[in-house]
Amino acid sequence: MSDYSSLTQLGQKTVWPAAPEDAILERVPAPAPGKNYLIRFTCPEFTSLCPMTGQPDFAHLVVDYIPGDWIVESKSLKLFFASFRNHGAFHEACTMTIADRLIAILDPVWLRIGAYWYPRGGMPIDVFWQTGAPPDGVWIPAQDVPGYRGRG
């Protein structure tokens, strides 16, 4: 059994970080090192602020990754996502900040992010990125978030 004593948020009352740079992403050892399997996190109610108007922006995020030695601790990820709530940045910057932070802490075998943003100015802006081609033999399901048509 792994020692999780280094975790500072799981099982603790935790103050929500005010900004993404204040958020602490934590990791734990991957339970199946050396095996390629996919982990998916879906955040259908992600929010941030438009840096120009201060109005809220909403997105449906899907993060898929194949772990190396580490997996992200989910409470810390939820707090990280929530830290964008009062953060002003364009859709592309929010999306890539999330990807960059996850890669920095996890050093995954593979990662992709799909950020399906709701319309701003009448037009949805969806942002997609991945580290490269996924390894052979891994089942990677489609993200299955429909193109904007009231996305329900």
pLDDT tens digits, residue range 70-126?
A: 999 999 999 999 999 999 999 999 999 999 999 999 999 999 999 999 988 788 899
Dihedrals phi, psi of 94, to nearest 5 degrees: -60, -50
CATH 3.30.1130.10 fits 20-130, yes or no: yes
Dihedrals phi, psi of 130, to nearest 5 degrees: -145, 160
Which residues contact residue 35 at a Cβ distance below 8 angstroms, ignoring those fewer than 6 apart? Answer: none
> What residues are labeled active site?
50, 57
- Domains of the chain, by residue range, sit at 20-130
User: Structure pTM?
Assistant: 0.90
Residue 12 or 62, more confident = 62
pLDDT band at 152 (very low <50, low <70, confident <90, very high): low
